[in-house]
A and B are shown apart, each in its own frame.
Chain A
Amino acid sequence: MSQRLYTVIGTRPVRHDGADKVTGRAQFGADIRLPGMLYGHVLRSPHPHARIRRIDVAKAEAFPGVLAVVTAADLPEGPDRLLELVEGTLPLSYVRANVLARDKVLYKGHAVAAVAAVSPHVAEEAAALIEVDYEPLPAVLDVLEAMREDAPLLHPDLRMREFGEPTGKPSNVADHFRHLLGDPEQGFREAELIIEREFRTVMVHQGYLEPQNATALWNQDGRVYVWTSTQGAFSAREAIAWVLELPVSRLCVAPMEVGGAFGGKIRIYLEPVAALLSKKAGRPVKIVMPRRDVFEATGPTPGTCIRVRLGTRRDGRITAAQVWMAYETGAFPSGQCGFGALCILAPYDIPNVLIDGYDVVVNKPSTAPYRAPGATQAAFAAESVVDELAERLGMDPIEFRLMNAAREGTRRADGLKYPRIGCVEVLEAMRNHPHYRAALEGPHRGRGVAMGYWFNIGWYSSCTISVNPDGTVNLVEGSVDLSGTRTSIAMQAAEALGLRADQVHPRVADTDSIGPTAVTGGSRTTFATGWAAWEAAQDVIRQMKERAALLWEIGPDQVEFEGGVFRSGERSMRFEELAARLEETGGPVVGRGTVNPSSAGGSFAGAIADVEVDPETGKVNLLRFTSVQDAGTAIHPGAVEGQMQGGSAQGIGWALNEEYHLSPEGTMLNSSLLDYREPTALDLPPLETVIVETPEPDHPFGVRGVGEANIVPPPAAIANAIYRAIGVRLRRLPMKPSAVMEALWSKER
């Protein structure tokens, strides 16, 4: 528990944008309507892999109501550079090629051309008139097939990197990296029990309810305005500017309310297309993706093949680990395998580790981050083997994990030495929870546990705080609010200034109106932008002390501030009293805060799952589910619980039913929300939560990000529960009824 006593932090005020969200007033990306606005429609490839011989847009251009048609020929060309986005660094050439395909299409749904017209229906009809001459090429759809020497190559110019160096070798393997700690061979020699297993997972989608959208106005003065549902206004500004070869200052990106993102709205898709259409048409253009395009053309998260080998002594101490992990990154490299490698054994103190990772391109949509990108697949593999080891040793699965748990000072395979972390605290909270101690009786029922980790990031954020004469403050921030961070940031400012949460009025600003702020992602926003708000509050306090000193005719360093009151000896003035006297003491007080922290502690999460398997149908019913997570300090416990429940629900869907069903030719067969089948209210039990608080040492309030680690444990916890229910270990996701039935049949044989 946190040592300090807070007034605002730890309470549950109604969020600042609450009224807008429940009255339909909140402006999401597709809700914008500008005078003279046109509607765009994107034509997409029907082939997973093909050369584009020719595109003829004449009929579309001549269609009544059409004002502009664009193809990759309208995109500028320029030198290649690396675009650094949170949770992934991408070469500009790939970003541009994904926006509109130039020579080749690399997946079904790859954008080829776009039309702007007076209505969305006219744009769609006209797009169908565009003639594209394709030369179909053999497609490669599976990660292991793509790694074969004789596999068709997606990118003739792609050369494999190995151990950080270019190899000059043409390959679908974009990157092969390795982490080595200690002496794995010796570690396995010391082991008395060694288990090695292979796991497969397939692509799944973030599944946000709001489709991607973008509205652009290429103004006649040369400035370009973009309104979009993005996780990062500034990262979008940079990506759009680079793709269009414009200086960033020519662009203003206004972040709209975002209807769910989970990592999937960091990359740009429609924004440059809308901008090019607007440039040609001379009018604003809005494009909204149909749901099928969201599945086929935005980033799902990689399918994987992961082999985990673990060795322990009979006393339960893990002596060595070896991991081989290959991630299908989609049409372009994504680096998510690298994140998976940082997380796969993160909960454990293992002296000898060898991890080999492969980032592999295939003819499927370009993958994008999805809540703790790369970590969920990795934990499914590692936590299943850990569970099997505990069982074979006859140990309680939580005690076995505790015996090997990572702590402050533990070195991870990638070399990082942990600062203060909450791994042990999370495991202890799981062990002590009534759920773990409750009886679970009846046939075909079982309980499983698993751990998960996400490293969280810091990065740059900006905030300003202006003092109002009525004693409240206006807080302007650059962080897009995906799920209530306006409030968790405002609460940190309120705590610092001695105000109530509702006396801070937060506003998310466009890129013209606030300093640069990195994307809302990596569980960084409440951590880093909250820190920036704290810095801005300190700046306000410093300036206000000067004003108090002026009124009291003393030095500023003789003024103290605590709990919303300025004091010097017997004299005191409440924040609002002084706020009313700013005009007479020198004018406005505006505080600013900018930060660029690193964060190395990260957040651990655990899950306890009870399942019942129907032996007739193979359906797995979740009876009870508890999520435990280290929040550092929970600023708004209700919002933290919401993150934990949301991440858990996504992990449960990933475990039991979600997947990209592809035809042998590479077409997604379930590209609707009916067939993709996200969990509904009927599929889930109440989701219990336990917030653990081991404060992050560097942060002013001890905050750790909580957005991501919660999705990581559910698939492994449920797999472990299914094993205890029916005695079969499932090593493929999803663990759908047909997979469970096959496992039961194979057990009977």
Chain B
Amino acid sequence: MKGQKVRVRTTVNGQPAEFLCEPRQSLLECLREILGLTGAKEGCNDGNCGACAVILDKRLVNSCLVLGVEAEGREITTIEGLAQGSQLHPIQRAFLEQGAVQCGFCTPGLILATKALLDRLPDPSELEIRRWLANHLCRCTGYDKVVRAVRQAAAELAEVKA
């Protein structure tokens, strides 16, 4: 029913988060407008640019294609939850050191996509990286430095584990 709000209980970036939303509101809109987490961006609102990507129960999703009410009882990681205290996550650092950020609008989605990729495939080939990132549009970089950043992050994360 339009206008009638639903209570949603979730975990966002490791902390319990509870909010009221209309059933028609996307998870992206709930994150941005209700929870104030504006790191996820709206580029198209129809699942074609990847700028709104978040990790929902260990799966990378376009949050514009998920309803806020579907987040009930689930765990969400957004770009705001990646850094550890005052330390950037190695993926964030790699994006900066490789110059993989230009305007920065697609960057939160690309960084979370990289995390989701490396969580399941710690040592991806260039083709695997490009195939995975093909769900994310970046108009500034031509992807060259982005791919390099993913490789640097993969190497550094492997070192940490070893």
A interface list, Cβ under 8 A from B: 12, 14-15, 17-28, 30-31, 33, 121, 206-211, 257-262, 288, 290-291, 482-484, 638-639, 641-642, 645-646, 648-650, 672-674, 678-684, 686-687
Contacts and interface: CB of A to CB of B under 8 A. Distances in A.
User: Interface centre among B82, B101, B106, by most A CB within 10 Å?
Assistant: B101
B38 A678 contact: no
25 contacts: A14-B96, A19-B96, A21-B96, A21-B104, A22-B88, A22-B93, A22-B101, A22-B107, A23-B80, A24-B39, A24-B108, A28-B38, A208-B103, A209-B41, A209-B137, A210-B41, A210-B103, A259-B106, A483-B102, A642-B99, A678-B137, A678-B139, A679-B142, A680-B135, A681-B129
Given A22-B104, A24-B37, A30-B41, 18 more contacts: A22-B101, A22-B108, A22-B111, A23-B79, A24-B79, A24-B80, A206-B139, A260-B102, A260-B105, A291-B45, A638-B99, A645-B145, A646-B139, A646-B142, A673-B48, A674-B48, A682-B130, A687-B142
Nearest to B140: A646
Contacts of A206: 139
Contacts of B39: 23-25
B74 interface: no
A204 to B, nearest CB: 12
A33 B78 CA distance: 19
B30 interface: no
Contacts of A24: 37-40, 78-80, 108
Nearest to A22: B92
A26 B104 contact: yes
B46 interface: yes
Nearest to A18: B96
Nearest to A678: B137
Contact of A680 (B37, B133, B140): B133
Minimum-distance CB pairs A-B, first 10: A24-B39, A259-B105, A649-B142, A21-B104, A645-B142, A24-B79, A638-B99, A31-B38, A22-B92, A673-B48
Contacts of A673: 43-44, 46, 48-49, 137
Residue from A19, A674, A680 having most chain B Cβ neighbours under 10 A: A680
B104 A259 contact: yes
Nearest to A680: B134
Contacts of A686: 144, 147
B42 interface: yes
Q: How large is the interface on B (under 10, 10 to 19, 20 to 34, 35 or more residues)?
A: 35 or more
Contacts of A257: 103-105
Contacts of B108: 22, 24
A288 B80 CA distance: 22
A211 B43 contact: yes
A23 B83 contact: yes
Contact of B46 (A19, A642, A650, A674): A674
B41 A642 contact: no
A15 B78 CA distance: 23
B101 A18 contact: yes
A680 B132 CA distance: 10
Given A23-B82, A28-B105, A673-B137, A641 B99 contact: yes
Contacts of A649: 139, 141-143
Contacts of B145: 638, 641-642, 645
Interface string B22-52: 1010000000110011111111111011010
B97 interface: yes
A209 B146 contact: no
Q: Identify which of A257, A258, A646, A684 gathers the most chain B CB atoms within 10 Å of its CB.
A: A646
Interface string B63-81: 0000000000000001110
Nearest to B79: A24
Contact of B51 (A15, A209, A288, A687): A209
A747 to B, nearest CB: 32
Contacts of B141: 642, 645-646, 649
Contacts of B105: 28, 208-210, 257, 259-260
A682 B130 CA distance: 5
A708 to B, nearest CB: 13
Contacts of B154: none
B145 to A, nearest CB: 6
Contact of A684 (B38, B80, B142): B142
A482 B97 CA distance: 18
Contacts of B142: 645-646, 648-649, 679, 684, 687
B134 A681 contact: yes
Given A24-B108, A646-B139, A681 B103 contact: no
A699 B125 CA distance: 44
B147 A672 contact: no
A128 to B, nearest CB: 14
Nearest to A674: B48
Contacts of A683: 134
A22 B38 contact: no
B161 interface: no
B44 A672 contact: yes
Given A19-B88, A642-B99, A681-B133, A291 B43 contact: yes
A484 B145 CA distance: 14
A209 B40 contact: no
B131 interface: yes
Given A21-B104, A646-B139, A678-B139, A209 B49 contact: yes
A678 B139 CA distance: 8
Contact of A639 (B32, B99, B106): B99
Contact of B97 (A14, A21, A25, A210): A14
Contacts of A14: 96-97
B102 to A, nearest CB: 4
Nearest to A653: B139
Nearest to B95: A22
Contacts of A21: 96, 101, 104, 107
B99 A681 contact: no
B103 A260 contact: yes
Contacts of A290: 45
A28 B41 contact: yes
A20 to B, nearest CB: 8
Contact of B139 (A27, A121, A260, A681): A260
B60 interface: no
A14 B40 CA distance: 23
A30 B36 CA distance: 12
Contacts of A23: 39, 79-80, 82-83, 88, 92
Contacts of B32: 31
A20 B105 CA distance: 11
A26 B79 CA distance: 12
Interface string B119-157: 000000000011101111111111111110000000000
Nearest to B37: A24
Contact of A483 (B44, B82, B140): B140
A32 B89 CA distance: 26
A12 B99 contact: yes
A679 to B, nearest CB: 8
A482 B103 contact: yes
A291 B46 contact: yes
Given A21-B104, A24-B108, A645-B142, A672 B99 contact: no
A21 B102 CA distance: 9
Contacts of B41: 28, 30, 209-210, 259
A686 B147 CA distance: 9
A18 B95 CA distance: 9
Nearest to A686: B144
Given A28-B41, A650-B139, A15 B46 contact: no
A81 B97 CA distance: 47
Nearest to B24: A121
A727 B50 CA distance: 39
Contacts of A261: 103
A679 B108 CA distance: 19
Given A22-B92, A209-B106, A681 B143 contact: yes
Given A288-B42, A681-B146, A483 B48 contact: no
